Amino acid sequence: MRRRARRSALGRRPLIPPEQVEHDGVVLRRLSADDADEVSRAATESLEHLRPWMPWATPEGTSPAAQRERLLGPATMWSSGSGYEYGVFLPDGTLVGGCGLHRRIGPSALEIGYWVHVGHVRRGIATACAGALTAVGFGLRGIERMEIHCDEANVASASVPPKLGYRLTGRLEHEPEAPGEVGCRLIWVQYRREWEARAPRATTPSPVD
Ligand SMILES: CC(C)(COP(=O)(O)OP(=O)(O)OC[C@H]1O[C@@H](n2cnc3c(N)ncnc32)[C@H](O)[C@@H]1OP(=O)(O)O)[C@@H](O)C(=O)NCCC(=O)NCCS
């Protein structure tokens, strides 16, 4: 009986995440082409900070036109279900970064990515985003594993996953994609059972419809 109830609860989990989530002082909201200018502004102001780690962080890649195309085009992954990209906002509506969930590491897993505006780093924003997205990911049907990847040289990024209960499970050689990378990717993993054991109620963000 209990097993059937659990199975039907699992079956009720949504397949796609909420378009807006609030957690630990940040608001994650699905981006649209209307946000292109603001994303472009934040990324352009942060160019030197992002350039070592984000392959798209070039003057062309952060231009309003490139961002508009990205947010409009096939890379708008929400519709295809290949991934879910959010803008990161302060409660007053200021855009301070971006983050997302990507379906590129197997059928029952999602990878988290994030970046934060240079003027807002070291205030826990990336940790809040990754915590929110971990809960969002595990709230989806069929997701049993969450991962965060970063190059070994990216000390700031590598500081985030262990704070949230992720374990370093591997190091993969990779072709550097951005100028700061040394070619060794750290793989941080968390399974659902580990996350559930970490008092999920305290860390579950509120979806806002
Ligand atoms: C990596 C990044 C997202 C971290 O964002 P953030 O909001 O500053 O991170 P948080 O404030 O949540 O900090 C998490 C931890 O990282 C540490 N940290 C942040 N920046 C750091 C730095 N430059 N050097 C060393 N540690 C750093 C923080 O001190 C914090 O640990 P602590 O609270 O125990 O001190 C941000 O630096 C960034 O946008 N970098 C460029 C893009 C990028 O690298 N994205 C990830 C690609 S894998």
Higher-confidence position of 72 and 20:
20
DSSP letter string, 149-203 = EEETT-HHHHTHHHHTT-EEEEEEE----STT--SEEEEEEEEHHHHHTS-HHHH
Burial per residue of 69-94, b for 16 or more beta-carbon CB atoms within 10 angstroms, e otherwise: ebbeeeebbbeeeebbbbbbbeeeee
Q: What is the average pLDDT score of the chain?
A: 91
* Token pair of 83 as six digits: 């991934």
Higher-confidence position of 77 and 161:
161
Predicted local distance difference test score (pLDDT) of residue 12: 84
144-153 pLDDT tens trace: 999 999 999 9
- Per the rule left: phi > 0, alpha: psi between -120 and 50, beta: everything else, 40 is alpha
4 falls within a domain: no
Query: Is the minimum distance from the CB of 54 to ligand 1 under 6 angstroms?
Result: yes
28 falls within a domain: yes
23, 125 in Cβ contact below 8 A?
no
1 falls within a domain: no
Task: Determine the structural domain holding residue 33 and report its residue range.
Answer: 14-207
Question: From ligand 1's centre to the CA of 80, what distance in Å?
Answer: 30
Strands 206-207, 145-151: pairing kind: unpaired
Radius of gyration of the chain (CA): 17
Q: For ligand 1, atom 3, name the residue with the nearest CA.
A: 115
Q: For ligand 1, atom 40, name the residue with the nearest CA.
A: 115
**In which band, very low, low, confident or very high, does the pLDDT at 208 lie, cut at 50, 70 and 90?**
low
**In which band, very low, low, confident or very high, does the pLDDT at 80 lie, cut at 50, 70 and 90?**
confident
Question: From ligand 1's centre to the CA of 168, what distance in Å?
Answer: 17
Question: From ligand 1's centre to the CA of 75, what distance in Å?
Answer: 26
* Token pair of 72 as six digits: 């409009």
Q: Give CA 204 to chain center in angstroms.
A: 15
Query: Is the minimum distance from the CB of 134 to ligand 1 under 6 angstroms?
Result: no
19-49 pLDDT tens trace: 999 999 999 999 988 999 999 999 999 999 9
183 falls within a domain: yes
Question: From ligand 1's centre to the CA of 51, what distance in Å?
Answer: 14
Predicted local distance difference test score (pLDDT) of residue 32: 87
Q: What is the C-alpha to C-alpha distance for residues 84 and 100, in angstroms, rounded to an integer?
A: 5
Percent of the chain with pLDDT over 90: 78
Of 11, 53, 6, the residue nearest 181 (C-alpha): 53
159 falls within a domain: yes
Predicted local distance difference test score (pLDDT) of residue 6: 56
Query: Is the minimum distance from the CB of 5 to ligand 1 under 6 angstroms?
Result: no
2 falls within a domain: no
- Mean local confidence (pLDDT), 124-146: 97
Q: How many domains does the chain have?
A: 1
Q: What is the C-alpha to C-alpha distance for residues 80 and 47, in angstroms, rounded to an integer?
A: 29
132 falls within a domain: yes
6 falls within a domain: no
Q: What is the C-alpha to C-alpha distance for residues 63 and 31, in angstroms, rounded to an integer?
A: 16
Counting ligand 1 atoms within 8 A of each CB, the residue from 24, 105, 160, 181 with the most, and so the one to mutate, is: 160
Counting ligand 1 atoms within 8 A of each CB, the residue from 95, 122, 185 with the most, and so the one to mutate, is: 122
Let me know how long the chain is: 209
Torsion of CA 170, 175, 178, 181, to 10 degrees: 50
Query: Is the minimum distance from the CB of 156 to ligand 1 under 6 angstroms?
Result: yes
CATH value at residue 186: 3.40.630.30
Predicted local distance difference test score (pLDDT) of residue 93: 96
Question: From ligand 1's centre to the CA of 6, what distance in Å?
Answer: 38
CA of 150, closest atom in ligand 1: 48
